[in-house]
Amino acid sequence: MSKTKAVATITFGDKFWEMAKHTHPLIKRYAERCDADFVVIDKPEFAEALGKAAYEKFQLYRLLDTYESVAFVDTDIVVAPDSPSVFELTPKGKIGACNEELFSKSKRDRVVTQEVLGKVDWKNCYFNSGMMVLDQETKELVNPEAEGLKEWATGEFRKEHENLLNDQPFLNHRANKLGMEVEDLGHRFNHTRVITKTHTRFDSYFIHYAGPSGHRYGERIRQIELDSQIMKSPFLLSTSRSFPTYRWVADRSNLAFVKYLFSKLNS
């Protein structure tokens, strides 16, 4: 190994490999600018024990035996060509992530995790786990042997809570349980659909198409394809950033969006 850092993502299944055609070149280029290796985790290890693909993030634990720090980036994230290094923005010994306290179901998740996993001294903001920076001091966050992980992933209590997320509440609870601090990198490094003014998304560096509808104006894979093309065009990227009204009109004038809208109206 020649590099001390890695930018890692998880990809398996046809749907995510289709996304990867558009996002991986941008993520790989970002890794190169950060002087980091680009690592694709493409084989599930915990599917039998934990069920959901989201828990494959716990493979980062072993990766941190090799690298001093790892930035995890979900495969459904489009990265801008001028994104600053999240490694440089995350102090050593802290978890680098983006605060989702004001937008997500963090209150519900705080309550449920502590009912299932035990009370903790919860000091951190509630972060989105789709982008995280970890180092060897914080690797214990993603230990696949973590106490309570299997209970959280497969417990019967899940039937009582609609749309309860998988790894994210657990990782938030665990960070507080272990007394780890979170460095809030801001929503520009993980811009999800909870930022409702979607036409401003190109002001951010990492656009995250989490959930079934991405940024709410068409099929998710098509959104990723179109936005990755904008990221590759200096003119379109600059225009989208400078004139958000143009971006709003362009998004809704796109043929793919019009077809999507009609399909929903007729369904």
Q: Are 224 and 256 contacting, i.e. CB atoms less than 8 angstroms apart? A: no
Pull the structure tokens for residue 98: 């983006």
In sign, the C-alpha dihedral spanning 109, 143, 149, 154 is positive
pLDDT by residue (tens digit) across 13-29?
999 999 999 999 999 99
DSSP state of 84: P
- φ, ψ for residue 85, nearest 5 deg: -75, 120
Architecture, CATH, for domain 1-267? Alpha-Beta Complex (3.90)
Residue 214: its pLDDT value, please? 61
Q: Which amino acid is at 8?
A: A
Cα-based distances in Å from 73 to 78, 126, 142, 255: 9, 18, 15, 29
First to last CA, the chain: 53
Kindly write down the DSSP assignment for every residue of 48-71, as one continuous string.
HHH-SGGGGGGGHHHHTTT-SEEE
Nearest to 178 by CA among 116, 115, 120: 120
45 has a pLDDT exceeding 70: yes
Q: How far, in Å, CA of 45 to CA of 58, rounded?
A: 9
Q: Which amino acid is at 136?
A: Q
Residues constituting the chain: 267
Q: Are 183 and 97 contacting, i.e. CB atoms less than 8 angstroms apart? A: yes
CA atoms within 13 A on the CB side of 124: 27
Neighbours of 135 (CB within 10 A): 21
pLDDT by residue (tens digit) across 126-148?
999 999 999 999 999 999 999 99
Q: pTM score, two decimals?
A: 0.93
Q: How far, in Å, CA of 214 to CA of 199, rounded?
A: 13
Residue 265: its pLDDT value, please? 73
For residue 99, the SS3 value is strand
**What ranges do the domains of the chain cover?**
1-267
| pLDDT range class, residue 84, cuts 50, 70, 90 | very high
Residue 217: its pLDDT value, please? 65
| pLDDT range class, residue 1, cuts 50, 70, 90 | low
Pull the structure tokens for residue 1: 């190994």
Residue 196: its pLDDT value, please? 81
Q: Are 251 and 236 contacting, i.e. CB atoms less than 8 angstroms apart? A: no
pLDDT by residue (tens digit) across 202-260?
999 999 998 766 666 678 899 999 999 999 999 999 999 999 999 999 988 877 767 76
114 has a pLDDT exceeding 60: yes
Q: Whose structure tokens read 């995280």?
A: 132
